[in-house]
Amino acid sequence: MAGALPGVVVLDDWENSLANLVDWSEITPRAEVTIHRQHLEGADLLRALKDARCLVLFRDRTVVDRALLAQLPHLEQIISTGSRNQKLDGDAAKEFGIGVGFTEWGPSKASTCEMAWSLILSCARRLPQLQLQPTQPHWRRPDAFDVLPQVLAGKTLGLVGLGQIGQRMAAVGQAFGMQVVTWSPNMTPERASAHGVEAVALDELLATSHVISLHLVPSAATRHLLNAETIARMGRDAILVNTSRAELVHMPALVDALRSRKIGFAGLDVFEQEPLPADHPLLALDNVLLTPHYGFICREVLATFASGLGKNLATWLAATRN
């Protein structure tokens, strides 16, 4: 409608952070803003976006592919929090004449490292079984000690990937007195040695590491890097932690290994389908610790997202005619 304010739709604000942290006072007089906290798919998603001229994505929580973009003739601009979005078809957006902008990250790598170590320590100490709460008031549950925890000092930490997060992980592991080994498709002994880490073959890392933590960006070569064959090389008391990408792990194979106690424990923060369905087989296991893709979530990162979003929206609105 001529003269109507341009519609801005924000998706997947699960933490209500963009609603609370963006300075909307300069935006709402110039745009009609709708913020969705619940994840939308299918007809609900299309209904929410059908009149949008600007779409705001909270990282890659929603798939925005060519098929969806083709059904959004009014869309002019997409703004994604973070510096990349693996579920946004940028080429299709360009073809349709839709601008794409991003925000800065903030200290997401430090946050993800802390999250990974939170999972490692919780899994190693079996905290999910020991936690006292109204639904679990027992001082010492007998089944909590089917497998006694082991100290990390003297054990081996295997890092699949030694980028900025992997380097932080290595430093913490060394502080715990762990031996740290690493593998990635392009790892060299010199690069590993520069961080006090030993480069080894993937098979050796899986076979010798008490804790295995994933820190790779997926590629065609690393998709389902951990599958039935490679998981079988891990020790029966091994702990697998993934705060990177779900695509690195073949989930049915991992579920089978956990269910049959072929490996000890898994701490997972990323999943191929998010939010995780209520009937997912992982939720029926007692040797997993599952968190809702929370690795990068911290006040500092979300404040950076909010600031960048406000600037992107102001720039777009300044160039937009109603």
Residues acting as catalytic residues: 245, 274, 293
CB 177 within 8 A of CB 154: yes
Handedness of CA 203, 273, 17, 132 (dihedral sign): negative
CB neighbours of 114 closer than 8 A, spacing ≥ 6? none
- How far apart CA 100 and CA 314 sit, in angstroms, is 14
CB 269 within 8 A of CB 240: no
Q: Which tokens sit at 160?
A: 């699949």
The C-alpha angle with vertex 198 and arms to 293 and 148, in degrees rounded to 5, equals 55
Dihedral angle at the C-alpha atoms of 125, 128, 130, 135, nearest 10 degrees?
Answer: 170
CB 193 within 8 A of CB 180: no
